[in-house]
Amino acid sequence: GALLTGLAIGDPYLAGLATLGTVSANGVAQLISKSDKDAYTNGLYGYNGCLVGCATSVFLAPSNIVMGLLTTTIAGATTPFVVHAIKPVMGSVPQWTLAFNGVTLSTLVLFRQLNLLPMNDAAPSLTHAHDAMLMVNASLQGLSQIFVVQSPVSGAVLLGGIAYYSPGLAAHAFMGSCIGGLTGAVLMASTDAPAILSEIDMGLWGYNSALTSMGVGVFYVHSPATVALSASGAAATATVFALMKSNMPLDYLPCLTLPFCLSMTACYLLNTISNKLKLASNPHSPEKNE
């Protein structure tokens, strides 16, 4: 409820496509994943479809509602097949949002080849204030940008929903988004400062880092080492974001949540080399993991 409310506050059209993507993905998953009912029940198929709907509303069909509905339905329904295809490759490592990235980036390339991508020449607004409220605003927008929404209000609602589920996980999320923005600010000192500042303001440096911090909070037993991994993982994720966003194979492709997928995989595998980090037997939240 909090998720859908937060998305609707930021962009009702996006919220509608997110819902459609979830329904489409779950519908197909129910047909092809009868042997994995727990994953279906826990929403592990639907969230990829949800993200596909969010991305469609921004990158693929921001103003063409019919195209948005059609694309979300088809692309969302494709994600369960991708989940099944990459499952053997990932082994014991969770798939994160790889299916969403694969389907969305492939659709972007297809739309570009068919000359269907919308033109977007609007320049982002710049904010030049450097104060605590700017960082709070950017961090909240980093949370909303997980779903491709730019709204501090949506971010606050989403943070409230996470806190209702787990206050500890909400702390990880906000800390990760904040660290992602701060990492961008450090890089700003030696690069194109105005452009980086605008991206920080919009939360683009925060969302991947927030996802990594939440991933650490969900999959690891709470400890000082886990908090340190959450913070360092967020910084590392922002660094990966910096490298990826300027080195994508096609200049019109966004890196979406690929920095999170790469960084969180590394964080997840650290348990094999550190005796201070312990994976939870039943991943849930910092309060309940053991």
**Tens digit of each residue's pLDDT (9 = 90 or more) over 229-285:** 999 999 999 999 999 988 888 888 999 999 999 999 999 999 999 999 999 999 999
Cα torsion angle, 185, 190, 193, 199, sign: negative
Q: Poorest-confidence range of 181-185, 186-190, 211-215?
A: 186-190
- Residue 120 has a pLDDT of 59
Sign of CA dihedral 251, 55, 206, 42: negative
User: For residue 197, is pLDDT > 90?
Assistant: no
**Residue 134 reports pLDDT greater than 70:** yes
> Cα dist. 239→22, 80, 180, 201, 233 in Å?
30, 30, 8, 17, 10
Q: Is the pLDDT of residue 97 over 70?
A: yes
pLDDT of 130: 47
pLDDT category at 158 given cuts 50, 70, 90 is: very high
State which amino acid sits at residue 125.
S
pLDDT at 270: 96
For 123, phi and psi rounded to 5 degrees?
-85, 140
Of 38, 16, 149, 23, whose CA–CA distance to 74 is shortest?
A: 23
* Residue 192: band (very low, low, confident or very high) from pLDDT cuts 50, 70, 90: low
Q: pTM, whole model, 2 decimals?
A: 0.93
Q: Can you tell me the mean pLDDT for 33-39?
A: 70
Question: Where does residue 153 rank: exposed (0-12), middle (13-18), buried (19+ CB within 10 A)?
Answer: middle
State the Cα–Cα distance between residues 24 and 69, nearest whole angstrom: 11
Residue 123: what pLDDT? 42
Looking at residue 37, what is its pLDDT?
A: 72
189 neighbors 119 (Cβ within 8 angstroms): no
Percent with pLDDT over 90 in the chain:
78
pLDDT at 95 over 60: yes
| Burial of residue 286 (number of CB atoms within 10 Å: 0-12, 13-18, 19+) | buried
**CB of 289 closer than 8 Å to CB of 227:** no
Rounded to whole angstroms, the Cα distance separating 77 from 74 reads 5
What the block records as the tokens of 273 is 């080399």
Q: ∠ CA(252), CA(100), CA(227), 5° rounding?
A: 100
pLDDT of 65 above 70: yes
Predicted confidence band at 35 (pLDDT cuts at 50, 70, 90)?
A: low
Percentage of residues of the chain with pLDDT beyond 70:
92
